[in-house]
Structure 1
Amino acid sequence: SESISTLLYLDADVVCKGSLKPLTEIIFKDEFAAVIPDNDSTQAACAKRLNIPEMNGRYFNAGVIYVNLKKWHEANLTPYLLKLLRGETKYGSLKYLDQDALNIAFNMNNIYLGKDFDTIYTLKNELHDRSHRKFQQTITDKTVLIHYTGITKPWHSWAGYPSASYFNIAREQSPWKKYPLKEART
């Protein structure tokens, strides 16, 4: 769109806990996006797998991206991204399709934000924490966006942990509040 210069993309398993105002204050120069670096182990593995060593420390998680649409259009990114997704470049088949493609296409030309804007948390962690309080070491008062990664999501009926309460607060204020949580298939 000619009238929209930025876009906030969030994966479906991302819940807003804090204010997004700091994102609206970002002034893009020539960067493709404001992104959040992925976990250290993921960064190292992806930089090695893609054979882009300089990407280690700058490989981002594609679950939260504040995109500079003006730069996207100027660079005509869409055709290149489609080639990457189809495996028609020197990178061949990508393991994490959209995430790898965006990391390659943006070529580390990004504004890098703190982890508070993509706080990755796996509900599986609750199985090892009988107190169900350790999540507070990850999801803190400063957390803006929580990214619930892994198989179990907060909309599953068996995910009634305190760490999923942020999803439940949002759900109660949404049109989906009248629908039941998803049950396990047996």
Structure 2
Amino acid sequence: MQQPLSDIAVDPRHVQADDSFHVVFCVDDRYFRCMGATIASILEHNPQRHFAFHVMATKVSDFNRERFESLSSRPGVRTCIHLLDPLMFERFEPYTRSSYYSSAIFTRLVIPDVLKSYTDRVLYLDADILCIGSVDSLAALDLQHDIVAVVPDAKATTERRVAALKLQHPRYFNSGMLYINIPRWLEARISQQTIDAFLENGERFRFPDQDALNLVLDGRARFIDIRWNYLYGLVGDLEGNRPALAIKPGDATFIHFAGSVKPWGAWCEHDSVRLFERYHAQSAWSDQPLDMQPQNYKEARMHSRFLWARGKRLESLVWYARYLKMRRRR
């Protein structure tokens, strides 16, 4: 029998009332290194603020647990790992088995139930986000009458998904950042409605949980400035041989590298790699190297394209041959 979201237990030993700004991540062991840089970037730009960092996962290695919990030795920082029963997500597997996504993406739907005894406001972030400014104005945002604050997705994505989902309001958000009013979310039963929407229509969703959330929150989410989830795709820059990070001062507080190339892929040689290195060096995972070469056949193919755009034709052909070899082996 599947565990209802409302039955999730909270460990009272960790519940403390304080003035911390709560931030939560939903990651597996592969993304702790990346999340570490996200946390380091937040701490660097907000030295006077108290933070409580939460991680939700179905499994965490001892190595990553120790590294994450070591952050609590810093003044004003608390950490908490919430282990979830993987059986909770079995119901989604038929819909995600043949896609890029795993059923673990639905972990974020349990955030309000798990954290309701910790705080009434929580910021969810994807682990491919870097902070380059203060969160003070976001923390001061009055959410009293709002379920969640979100940021609009790219214009082209919005137009396609609004049409595909037949949304009543022509707005569509990227779920990599959600600033949640926990009591209002729970009162409106957003998580259960999202699950119901996915189980009913999941086969036609392009972005599984994001599409479901947009369908359920159609007309009920508060849209805020794009600086709080500034979407930045590296592929376009690299295919156009533009290695510079093209963000004007003040345009972004959270940069979300939401595309298929990430700034921890040092092989791409984009300026975002140096930005990631800056925060990675301050993180608890600083001894773990960046990806110096493509990690799979898809990255190998992209690397070949990027090298060709830079005029490195021989290297490009070498990597294309590696891509073909890696693809045959998969």
TM-score calculated relative to the size of structure 1: 0.86
Determine the C-alpha separation between the residues in 2 that align with 1:76 and 1:130: 47
1:43 equivalent in structure 2: 158
User: Larger Rg: 1 or 2?
Assistant: 2
Quickly say closer, same or farther: Cα 1:51–1:158, change in 2 above 3 A. Answer: same
More moved, 41-50 vs 121-130: 121-130
Determine the C-alpha separation between the residues in 1 that align with 2:290 and 2:135: 27
Is the Cα–Cα contact under 8 Å of residues 265 and 273 in structure 2 kept in the other structure?
A: no
CA RMSD of the aligned region, Å? 1.9
SS at match of 1:2: coil
Greater fraction helix: 2
2:108 equivalent in structure 1: none
Structure 2 residue aligned with 1:184, among 294, 307, 318? 294
- The answer to whether the aligner puts 1:80 opposite 2:180 as a matched pair is no
> Aligned-pair distance for 1:158?
0.8
Instruction: Look up the equivalent residue of 1:117 and give its one-letter code.
Output: W
> Aligned-pair distance for 1:92?
6.0
> Aligned-pair distance for 1:107?
2.3
Instruction: Look up the equivalent residue of 2:249 and give its one-letter code.
Output: D
Quickly say closer, same or farther: Cα 1:131–1:184, change in 2 above 3 A. Answer: closer
In the TM superposition, 1:23-62 aligns within 5 A as: 23-52=138-167, 54-56=168-170, 58-62=171-175
> Aligned-pair distance for 1:55?
2.7
Q: Following superposition, which runs of at least 4 residues in structure 1 exceed 3 angstroms of deviation?
A: 128-131
> Aligned-pair distance for 1:104?
1.6
Is the Cα–Cα contact under 8 Å of residues 194 and 213 in structure 2 kept in the other structure?
A: yes
Determine the C-alpha separation between the residues in 2 that align with 1:37 and 1:181: 30
Is the Cα–Cα contact under 8 Å of residues 280 and 286 in structure 2 kept in the other structure?
A: yes
Is the Cα–Cα contact under 8 Å of residues 59 and 108 in structure 1 kept in the other structure?
A: no
2:282 equivalent in structure 1: 173
Instruction: Look up the equivalent residue of 2:186 and give its one-letter code.
Output: H
Q: Percent identity?
A: 28
Quickly say closer, same or farther: Cα 1:84–1:114, change in 2 above 3 A. Answer: same
SS at match of 1:49: helix
SS at match of 1:55: coil
Report 1 or 2 for greater relative contact order, CA contacts < 8 Å, sequence distance ≥ 6: 1
Which digits, 9 at most, give the CA deviation of each residue in 1:9-50, with x for residues without a partner? 111211111111111101113221111111111111111101
SS at match of 1:177: coil
2:220 equivalent in structure 1: 109
2:135 equivalent in structure 1: 20
Gaps in structure 2 of 5+ consecutive residues: 1-115, 296-325
Gaps in structure 1 of 5+ consecutive residues: none
